[in-house]
Amino acid sequence: MGRIVSIGECMGELSETGTPGTLNMGFAGDTLNTAYYLRRSLGPDWQVDYVTAIGTDGLSQRMLDFLKAEDIGTHHIAQLADKTIGLYYITLKDGERSFTYWRSDSAAKKLASDPAALARALDGADLAYWSGITLAILSNQDRLALIEALSQFAGRGGTVVFDPNLRPRLWDNPESMRGWIHRAAAVSDLCLPSFEDEATWFDDADPEATIKRYLAEGARRVVVKNGAGYVTFAGSNGEISTSAIPPVEQVVDTTAAGDSFNAGYLAAELAGASVADAITAGARLAANVIGARGALVPDAVRPS
Ligand code: ADP
């Protein structure tokens, strides 16, 4: 029996249906998306827990009900009486999606405010998954608390996996984002960045430069996604290799491509796959996710 803890913000998702006056309501968020696909990829001998903070209101309860229905563990979700969950609204115009967010006062910003609760959530887990978005939404004090908790978890033999998921709009300024992302990488065994973001915000000339930078900051392993391009990784001997991803039939909506890739990759590695095979598994799952609309695609995990 193994246990995975995914830490971050899940939001309510409102999307237009095409019928005036009606909306779809769902739940999504980068670390939740990965937890969802991990839950669906892994067998019953794995427990997948989500760690966040929500409110005590009806909408927060809906999110809890959703997570429970998906068999995602909710025991370590804090419920704060004076807060509620963040929301986003998707506008569809000529097939293009645009997003409006209400998340500046969301309960999830307090997810690391109780270090004892954080330690309890991580206690006995095998793998902790988090992202640059998890870190972005916190106060400086809570960023340090979360980094410390994960560092202690790693010290006890836990595996820390980090997706930088660079979102400059969530940070005070790009310089602050770069500094914190590197502190996060330093306590992470595995970093799963996406090259396009890294090139934009760190000026990396190629995926190899991204790998070298994160290794220099203290990450032990780095796998760099790159849209439809090759995935680049450093092997245990430090040698940098690339892996072609299987062709994708149709790209409908790239939402959660990276999040689902990470889940497919991790599930394969936890089952004993090599890095190259785990990359193929991640890319297969991502291909199924981007072949349909929305972040959470129920039938994306298919037997290989
Ligand atoms: P993110 O969604 O985090 O920006 P990427 O765009 O790099 O991440 O995509 C993550 C993974 O999703 C890729 O490694 C690939 O497997 C798959 N993917 C994304 N876009 C495409 C595409 N246009 N064609 C094929 N696969 C894609």
Q: Give domain status of residue 144, yes or no.
A: yes
**Over 90: is that where the pLDDT of 94 sits?**
no
Q: Whose CA is nearest to atom 12 of ligand 1?
A: 257
Which domain, by its residues, includes 197?
Answer: 2-10+30-83+109-290
148 phi and psi, to 5 degrees? -65, -45
Angstrom distances, CA of residue 174 to CA of 29, 136, 170: 22, 11, 10
In this structure, what token pair is assigned to residue 36? 């969802």
Q: How far is the CA of 258 from the centre of ligand 1 (A)?
A: 6
With left for phi above 0 and alpha for psi between -120 and 50, is residue 272 left, alpha or beta? left
Q: How far apart are CA 275 and CA 75, in angstroms?
A: 32
Number of compact structural domains in the chain? 1
Interatomic CA distance for residues 23 and 90, integer angstroms: 10
Q: Which residues are catalytic?
A: 259
247-292 per-position pLDDT tens digit: 888 898 899 999 999 999 999 999 999 999 999 999 999 999 999 9
Q: What region, left, alpha or beta, does residue 119 occupy, with left being phi > 0 and alpha being psi -120 to 50 degrees? A: alpha
Task: Examine residue 174 and state whether it is found in any structural domain, yes or no.
Answer: yes
Instruction: Name, in order, each residue with C-beta under 8 angstroms of 79's C-beta and a sequence gap of 6 or more.
Output: 53, 54, 55, 56, 60
Whole-prediction pTM: 0.97
Stretch 37-55: mean pLDDT, rounded? Answer: 97
Verify whether ligand 1 is closer than 6 Å to residue 254 (CB atom): yes
The CA 231 to ligand 1 mean position distance, Å, reads 9
Strand partners, 46: 2
Lowest mean pLDDT among 10-24, 29-43, 171-185: 10-24
CATH code for the domain of 227: 3.40.1190.20
Is 46 contained in some domain?
yes
pLDDT in tens, 214-231: 999 999 999 999 999 999
| 201: in domain | yes
